[in-house]
Amino acid sequence: MLPCQHTFCFLCLQNSVMSADASRLRCAKCRSEVPLPKEGISGFPSSIHLQNILDLLESDYASMDELLQCCGCQTVSGSSVFCEHCKLTYCSLCMARHVEELAKQLGHIADQLDATVDKITQRYKKFESSQSEVEAKLREEAEKRVRQIRDLEAQLLHRLETAKAAEETGLQEVVLKVRTAAAGARLFASKGFDHAQDPNEKIRVFMKLHRDAGDALSEVTTVGNTQVCFEPDAFAVTVECRADAVLEDEAESPGSPSASQETISPASSPASAPNPSPPATDTSNQSKAELQRLAADAQSRLYRSKSFLART
């Protein structure tokens, strides 16, 4: 404060001293000149009235630090509430409105969740529809393949039955021919030689019976040598025929015919598959044993007659 009782701030007085004579200072209000103290600007006394006002303001600001301002209505209150969600301070009235707004937001959130559930449900329905379609196609294809396998099974079984019937028929024909030749040989051996007077006639009859027996024996090798087997991996039936002699006491000759083989598989059908010669067999052991006995007997007779034929 200057001697003329006019008050200025310290910075304003300092600027006036720097721009004028350093020994005197002119008051900016009354234009009176006052001598500058030895201490300079700091030598002027302070205004007690203004200092009291400053002290009062500082105390008011210190007490206001304990109060909070509402972010909604901008009022300062000691009962303000801090919102942990939005990190803002509200008075009691604004906090009530803020809570209502949050409740509305919860309603919107619930609606969004319901919409999400609907979307998920629709996705599952699409998946369920696709799964049902794939399942139907799978079952249809499986049934188709099962029918194909059943059809092939029926074809193979029919082919085996046909081969069995053909083998049985061939066996019966050969057995009948061998029996007929054996019966003729026995009849002529027991009575034919006695009734025939001409030796040449006897020889001619003997040679005829000899040829019949040889023909019967030649057909024996075509019966009872067929084997059938099933190949699970290829789902095929193989028919193999060995053209060897059926007699157990007759050894294989080096020049005997090779085995023939037929495979009945999914690629071959009964209509297109070649007829095996001879087909598969399922004859009884009794018929085979009898056929072997008759053939052995006829073969023995032929061997015994070789010396006689050589002389003629």
Give me the numbers of helices (H) and strands (E) for the chain, helices first please. Answer: 7, 9
Residue 241's beta-bridge partner residues?
Answer: 226, 260
Task: Determine the Cα–Cα distance for residues 264 and 46; give it in Å rounded to an integer.
Answer: 129
- Asked whether residue 307 carries a pLDDT value surpassing 90, the answer given is no
Kind and range of the H or E run holding 88: strand 88-90
Q: Are 259 and 243 in contact (CB under 8 A)?
A: yes
Q: What is the pTM of this model?
A: 0.42
DSSP character at residue 258: P
- What are the pLDDT digits (tens) for 9-64? 777 777 776 655 567 777 877 877 777 777 777 777 777 777 777 776 666 554 55
- List the domain boundaries for the chain: 1-66, 162-311
pLDDT bin (cut points 50, 70, 90) of residue 304 is very low
3-state SS track over 12-72: HHHHHHHHCCCCEEECCCCCCEEECCCCHHHHCCCCHHHHHHHHHHHHHHHHHCCCEECCC
Task: Determine the Cα–Cα distance for residues 47 and 45; give it in Å rounded to an integer.
Answer: 7
Task: Determine the Cα–Cα distance for residues 272 and 287; give it in Å rounded to an integer.
Answer: 32
Q: Which residues of 125-136 are buried (b: 16+ CB within 10 A; e: fewer)?
A: eeeeeeeeeeee
pLDDT given at position 147: 96
What six digits make up the tokens of 171?
């066996």
Residue 80's beta-bridge partner residues?
Answer: none
Closest CA to 296 of 257, 256, 247: 247
Residues 6+ apart with CB under 8 A from 204: none
pLDDT given at position 266: 53
pLDDT given at position 4: 81
- What are the pLDDT digits (tens) for 211-264? 888 888 877 777 777 788 888 888 888 877 765 434 443 434 334 444 455 665
pLDDT given at position 167: 85
CA distances from 232 to 174, 196, 237, 266 (A): 34, 63, 9, 12
pLDDT given at position 265: 60
- Asked whether residue 283 carries a pLDDT value surpassing 50, the answer given is no
pLDDT bin (cut points 50, 70, 90) of residue 203 is confident
- What are the pLDDT digits (tens) for 75-126? 766 666 777 777 778 787 887 887 888 888 888 899 999 999 999 999 999 9
pLDDT given at position 238: 81
- What are the pLDDT digits (tens) for 131-153? 999 999 999 999 999 999 999 99
Residues 6+ apart with CB under 8 A from 82: 68, 88, 89
What six digits make up the tokens of 116?
């999400």
Mean pLDDT (whole number) for 191-201: 70
Closest CA to 302 of 215, 213, 187: 213
- Asked whether residue 273 carries a pLDDT value surpassing 50, the answer given is no
Closest CA to 174 of 292, 299, 257: 292
